Amino acid sequence: MRNESCHSETTTASMTLRVVLADRLPDYSDYRDQGCDLSARCLKCPLPRCRYDLETQGKRSARMLRDREILRQRTAAGKSVAGLASEFDLSKRTIQRIIRRLSNE
């Protein structure tokens, strides 16, 4: 009976250790500050926001313009979902999701 108790304590301790190691703070991770083409080091960068954060905003804006154009062509020109999927190089299911989302806004 004593061995079972010891085994369960060891198992619990090892599970806890795995959780702790998987959820380490950034202080304990291996981070190499390699910068980008604008700054040699991220932590010394003079920009107020990271340039990669700005690219995400640009992609989001471009995607919203694309989605609105898809809805416009579907409603005004009456294009089929298959035709829009082919034109915008997206799946038919993605076109349907875009149309549904923008129609509900």
Q: What is the pLDDT of residue 55?
A: 58
Q: What is the pLDDT of residue 56?
A: 62
99: domain range?
64-105
Judge whether 39 lies within some domain: no
Q: How far apart are CA 30 and CA 7, in angstroms?
A: 33
First to last CA, the chain: 64
Whether residue 2 has pLDDT greater than 70: no
Q: Is the pTM of this model over 0.85?
A: no
Judge whether 22 lies within some domain: no
Q: Which residue has the tokens 């926001």?
A: 49
Q: What is the pLDDT of residue 89?
A: 92
Q: Which of 89, 95, 46 is nearest to 71 (CA)?
A: 95
Q: Mind listing the pLDDT tens digit for each residue in 26-81? A: 666 676 888 888 888 888 888 887 777 755 666 777 888 899 999 999 999 899 99
HSE-CB at 91 with a 13 A cutoff on CA atoms is 3
Give every CB contact of residue 39 below 8 A, 6+ residues apart in sequence.
45, 46, 47
Judge whether 14 lies within some domain: no
DSSP H or E run through 14: helix 2-22
Total number of domains in the chain:
1
Judge whether 98 lies within some domain: yes
